Amino acid sequence: NVALAKRELIEALPPAGVAVLNADDPLVARFREIHPGRTVTFGLDEGADVRPEVVEHNPDGVRFRLGDSLWFESPMAGVHGLLNLLAGIAVAGVLGVEPRSLQGAVRALGAGAGRGRRFLHQGITIFDDCYNSNPEAVRRMLDLLQAEPARRRIAVLGEMLELGRWSESLHREVGRHVAACGIQLLIGIRGAASHMVDEAVKAGLSGSAAFFFEDSAEAGNFLRGQAGPGDAILFKGSRATRVEKALESFMK
């Protein structure tokens, strides 16, 4: 349903309008078929119009090259952060802005609160991605957490809403990904997140490292007694789950 709603935006474009589409998303990439005008694509797919030739992820963010020699650096982390940057460069190009003139802006652009912001708190690396959640976004952030050098990697994951009849199966799928990423401590918050915790244990996570809370603040209070310097923690959940309350309680 979300994809169909996004499709309506492309359908509303006049023939002279320009559609800027994510080439890495098969659903979105097909939107070009319904727009008679110009389409510009971005992504890591080889057919994308705006595509990096080289990508280097590091603890400080990402470094990538467009063309033969145009390098960009940004504190935006992960593949999803990189795709957001490529989308911006693609839109700027449609408006006549040369990519070279964007290097400073890309370098200065950081994730906002709740949008994947990475920061240190008492020697602990925090990924604050509390604003919203869906299965694909959670998997990408778990991959980012897995790649983070850390003593232990901890995931605090709230319930993902608006998944309809697929809610349980999708939460279980994320639970399996938690285990596959080698996360050492999982805290699920509210409702269907219990299925995620249950499935993570079935997939190999120790039962003594998997916890579930209905209340976000209670989860954060519990985490204060578990995490320590050198750890890396991801906080993520759907908006109504209020995972930011867990982060606030943890940082008190």
pLDDT in tens, 3-51: 778 899 999 999 999 999 999 999 999 999 999 999 999 999 999 999 9
pLDDT in tens, 59-76: 788 999 999 999 999 998
The single-letter code of the amino acid at 160 is M
Contact by Cβ (8 Å): 210, 104:
no
Q: Are residues 144 and 30 in the same domain?
A: no
Does residue 178 have a pLDDT over 70?
Answer: yes
* 55, 155, 191, 193 from 236: Cα distances, Å: 25, 8, 15, 12
Domain hosting 186: range is 117-251
Last residue of a domain, one of 108, 132, 165: 108
Kindly compute the dihedral angle of the four CA atoms of residues 10, 16, 19, 20, in this order, to the nearest 10 degrees: -150
Number of domains in the chain: 2
Q: Are residues 169 and 214 in the same domain?
A: yes
Q: Are residues 165 and 64 in the same domain?
A: no
Q: Are residues 124 and 243 in the same domain?
A: yes
Q: Are residues 92 and 51 in the same domain?
A: yes
Residue 236, pLDDT score: 97
Phi/psi for 70 (5° steps) reads -95, 105
Does residue 1 have a pLDDT over 70?
Answer: no
Q: Are residues 124 and 172 in the same domain?
A: yes
Q: Are residues 97 and 176 in the same domain?
A: no
Q: Are residues 53 and 167 in the same domain?
A: no
CATH number of the domain that residue 244 is part of? 3.90.190.20
d(CA 96, CA 23): 21
Residue 219, pLDDT score: 98
Q: Are residues 180 and 223 in the same domain?
A: yes
pLDDT in tens, 193-205: 999 999 999 999 9
CATH number of the domain that residue 75 is part of? 3.40.1190.10
Last residue of a domain, one of 108, 127, 156: 108
Q: Are residues 101 and 121 in the same domain?
A: no
Q: Are residues 94 and 144 in the same domain?
A: no
Q: Are residues 246 and 121 in the same domain?
A: yes
Last residue of a domain, one of 76, 108, 140: 108
